[in-house]
Amino acid sequence: MPSESVPFKNLVDISFFAEKIDLALSTISYGDKPAELYDPIRYIMQLGGKRLRPLVTLLAGYLFQDDVQKCIKPACGVEIFHNFTLLHDDIMDKAPLRRGKPTVHEKWNHNIAILSGDVMMVRAYEQFLEVEPAKLQKVLKLFSSCAAAVCEGQQLDMNFETRDYITIDDYLHMITLKTAVLLGFSLELGAILNGATEHDAKLLKNFGINVGIAFQLRDDLLDVYGDQTKFGKQLGGDILADKKTFLLLTALTQADDKQKEILSRFRNNTAAAAEEKVREVTQVYTELDIRAQTEAKINNYFEEAIQCLNAVSAPENRQALLRNLALQLMEREN
Amino acid sequence: MPSESVPFKNLVDISFFAEKIDLALSTISYGDKPAELYDPIRYIMQLGGKRLRPLVTLLAGYLFQDDVQKCIKPACGVEIFHNFTLLHDDIMDKAPLRRGKPTVHEKWNHNIAILSGDVMMVRAYEQFLEVEPAKLQKVLKLFSSCAAAVCEGQQLDMNFETRDYITIDDYLHMITLKTAVLLGFSLELGAILNGATEHDAKLLKNFGINVGIAFQLRDDLLDVYGDQTKFGKQLGGDILADKKTFLLLTALTQADDKQKEILSRFRNNTAAAAEEKVREVTQVYTELDIRAQTEAKINNYFEEAIQCLNAVSAPENRQALLRNLALQLMEREN
């Protein structure tokens, strides 16, 4: 396939790469028959999303070569894998909606959701198979380790629902596996494919892991302190669902007896009025300055990420694309 | 890793290869934490089974080289994948037992069964990653196509449960995907890894597909005409479950009005006495000589398989190992 260099080098921006991803994803053929198996794959892949992971694969590749052609199919593999995890997670979480639309197990049924997800994992692996033979084993080992880690993270997340005592470190470990390692792999992938040194590839992986953790903490924060006019979901959803977020776990370690009493009174209390529960728990967070503490933690991870990125040997104007993207993620309101 | 040649060449038998498989499977490390994710994998892998698929991979490899060392890990990958499909199929079929023991979703729960299965697919792929770089892409493309086909077969099988009209060709297509292609791939895999020509590899694949179809038809037959003292399950299970087997579909195409009335009277009739249903349906089969027709069909597939095997350029005494194994499968009573 003839490859295409990046035109107007000084003008290139993220949308240039995003369009490449959208085009590539739109041309993937998942299969036809039986329709019950393949329609759900097209459905979930067309629900959209930020395409963040394949985008950073291309941006990471662009740090080392103008031409990102050979990164595109593997980047799609990461996106298919990510959507596979969403599909199976939605079954496990009994989620009715995904991006405002019925989830696959709601629109079709549980069995179809399980089996379509299984094929998605196969299709994800297939996207990697055009990687040059000398790098194929390495890339697939990293992808497989990452894929298993994501499953470990999901299992830990489920375990935490019924476990009484979870430390902040437990939580950070869980979100690292469930969310951050895939972002780290996405970056490492682009770096490896486009000839980065081992050192630079690992720096980019760490950039991704740190951004990923900060991203999840930002999620936790927005659920409580987001702007309802901009936030896509109802504020306080995590509080109502008794989710053990960074905010709650931090509050539990610092609460005095009165605050502990409030937190424990509302915990797993389905009889409590929703508005009151959100208000009272948020009040405890506010008394303990949990918002500032969470923002500080997010900043720590973000700073660590930026240091990794800055240490990569690549043109500054290309690093800026990834830096700006990370900044956008940190400042997002939804 | 130092490789080990086959000793006593004239005395080598199937158990020599079976022991290699058992040893290799027993040393695979699936992972440790969280235990909820990895214990089910060890559990289902230790439930046993014939290890038929990895065994034929080694036997196919042995046709072309004394040393089957490089076939062993990929053969384990096939076995892990096969057990992954059993794990997820058992969820979909709501099966309480697998090899006489509680299924994973019964012993743990549905979510754990889904997620453990997902990791099993990852671990299956990982077993292939030591394949020499020049062959890795080819092997993984074939494996991935096969894996998707197995999922297609499972989806068709589920679709057939609620579909009124299924032709015998529909049924043969379904069992080819659900059962036979994985056996075909197992053989092709060993052939490719040990340097067979493209032609010989395809012959072995076709040998496997034909044996696989014959194997499934034998299953259908044993359910009705097996010897209860040797058959592991209650006879007539397929009849009671209204499974559209080769026997039923053949009977439906040949039944006269009276026989059609009997078959349709008992179909989806949960109120019917079990013993009466099995007896009456079996009586129709017997009147139509379905047993002999099924046996003839099995023989056709078996003969086709043997012709493929005989056409392979390999030592006769090594072909005999695969021929004898296929013969055992055809003559099995359970």
C-alpha neighbours within 13 Å on the C-beta side of residue B135: 20
- Number of inter-chain CB pairs under 8 A, A vs B: 114
Query: Cα angle vertex A200, ends A196, A202, to 5°?
Result: 115
The pLDDT, as a whole number, for residue B230 is 79
| Residue contact A148–B31, C-beta within 8 A | yes
Q: Are residues B100 and B203 in the same domain?
A: no
pLDDT at residue B9 in the model? 47
In a domain, A183, yes or no: no
* Chain B positions in Cβ-Cβ contact with residue A34 (cut-off 8 Å): 152, 155-156, 159
| pLDDT tens track for B143-192 | 999 999 999 999 999 999 989 889 999 999 999 999 999 999 999 999 99
How buried is residue B305: exposed, middle or buried, by Cβ count under 10 Å (0-12/13-18/19+)?
buried
B49 and B22 Cβ atoms separated by less than 8 Å: no
A147–B123 CB contact, under 8 Å: no
**Number of continuous H segments (helices) and E segments (strands) in chain B:** 16, 2
Nearest CA distance, A283 vs chain B (angstrom): 35
Instruction: Pick the last residue of a domain from A89, A118, A152.
Output: A152
Q: Which two tokens stand for residue A36?
A: 């019950």
Is a pLDDT exceeding 90 seen at residue A114?
A: yes
Indicate whether A175 belongs to any domain: no
From chain A, the residues in CB contact with B119 under 8 A are: 148, 151-152
**Contact between B315 and B63 (Cβ < 8 Å):** yes
Instruction: Specify whether B202 is located in the same domain as B311.
Output: yes
* Tokens describing residue A329: 């993620």
Q: What is the residue whose two structure tokens read 């903490």?
A: A217
pLDDT value of position B90 = 96
Does A137 sit within 8 Å of B133, measured CB to CB?
yes
User: Among B87, B119, B150, which residue terminates a domain?
Assistant: B150
Residue B166 lies in a domain: no
Q: Are the Cβ atoms of B140 and A155 closer than 8 angstroms?
A: no
Using an 8 Å CB-CB cutoff, list residues of chain B that contact chain A. 31, 33-34, 36-37, 88, 91-92, 111-112, 114-115, 117-119, 121-123, 125-126, 129-130, 133-134, 136-137, 140-141, 144, 147-148, 151-152, 154-156, 158-159
CB contact under 8 A, B115 and A151: yes
Query: What is the rounded average pLDDT of the residues A72-94?
Result: 97
Reading the block at residue A226, the tokens are 């987001």
pTM: 0.94
List the one residue out of A172, A162, A181, A10 whose CA is nearest residue A85. Answer: A181
Strand partners, A102: A97
- Among the candidates B122, B150, B178, a domain finishes at B150
**Domain check: are A40 and A148 in the same one?**
yes
Q: How far apart are CA A63 and CA A322, in angstroms?
A: 9
- Do residues B33 and B95 both lie within one domain? yes
Query: Do residue B141 and residue B246 come from a single domain?
Result: no
Q: What is the pLDDT of residue B7?
A: 46
Which residues does A contribute to its contact with B (CB < 8 Å)? 31, 33-34, 36-37, 88, 91-92, 110-112, 114-115, 117-119, 121-123, 125-126, 129-130, 133-134, 136-137, 140-141, 144, 147-148, 151-152, 154-156, 158-159
Q: Is residue A253 helix, strand or coil? A: helix
Give pLDDT tens digits along chain B (334 positions). 444 444 444 457 899 999 999 999 999 999 999 999 999 999 999 998 899 999 999 999 999 999 999 999 999 999 999 999 999 999 999 999 998 899 999 999 999 999 999 999 999 999 999 999 999 999 999 999 999 999 999 999 999 998 988 999 999 999 999 999 999 999 999 999 999 999 999 999 999 999 999 999 999 999 999 988 877 777 898 999 899 999 999 999 999 999 999 999 998 887 888 899 999 999 999 999 999 999 999 999 999 999 999 999 999 999 999 999 999 999 887 7
Asked if A210 and A306 count as a contact pair (C-beta separation under 8 A), the reply is: no
Report the SS3 class of residue B176.
helix
- What one-character DSSP code corresponds to residue B100? T
Q: For residue A97, what are the β-bridge partners? A: A102
Q: Which of A115, A129, A156 sits opposite B151 (nearest CB)?
A: A115
Between A111, A119, A159, which is nearest B36 by CB? A159
- How far is Cα B119 from Cα B104, in angstroms, rounded to an integer? 14
Is there a domain that residue B220 lies in? Answer: yes
- CA distances A298 to A75, A124, A214, B68, B199, Å, are 27, 31, 5, 53, 59
**Domain identity same for A237 and A114:** no
Q: What is the least distance, in Å, from the CA of A92 to any CA of chain B?
A: 5
Q: Quick one: CA dihedral B51, B57, B62, B68, positive or negative?
A: negative
Listing DSSP states for B274-332 in one string gives HHHHHHHHHHHHHHTTHHHHHHHHHHHHHHHHHHHHHTS-S-HHHHHHHHHHHHHHHH-
Least confident of A244-253, A267-276, B46-55: A267-276
Is A209 found in the same domain as A146? Answer: no
Q: Which structure tokens are listed for A95?
A: 């989620």
Run of H or E including A161: helix A133-162
Quick one: pLDDT at residue A235? 86
Distance CA A274, CA B87 (A): 40
Closest CA to A71 of A126, A10, A21: A21
User: In which domain, by residue range, is A317 found?
Assistant: 197-334
- Partner-chain contact B126 A136, CB within 8 Å: no
Any idea which residue has 């890894």 for tokens? B193
CB B14 within 8 A of CB B102: no
Residue A1 pLDDT exceeds 50: no
- B214 plus B110 within the same structural domain: no
Q: What pLDDT does A228 receive?
A: 81
Total domains in chain A come to: 2
Query: What is the per-residue pLDDT for A4?
Result: 47
Do residue B216 and residue B327 come from a single domain? yes
Q: Are residues A204 and A100 in the same domain?
A: no
Average pLDDT of the residues of chain A: 94
Asked if residue A205 and residue A140 are part of one domain, the reply reads no
What's the CA angle centered on A20, arms A16 and A24, to 5 degrees? 170
Is A160 within a domain? no
- Which CATH number belongs to the domain containing residue B45 in this structure? 1.10.600.10
User: What's the CA gap between A157 and A174, in Å, rounded?
Assistant: 7
pLDDT digits (tens, 9 = 90+) for A308-327: 999 999 999 999 999 999 99
The answer to the question of residue A187 being in a domain is no
Domain contains B155: no
Q: Is residue B157 in a domain?
A: no
Instruction: Decide if B115 and A148 are in contact by the 8 Å CB cutoff.
Output: no
Q: Are residues A326 and A215 in the same domain?
A: yes
Which chain B residue's Cα is nearest to A124? B144
Pairwise CA distance, residues B182 & B166, whole Å = 23
- Inter-CA distances, B107 with A23, A63, A111, Å: 45, 49, 19
CB contact under 8 A, A115 and B159: no
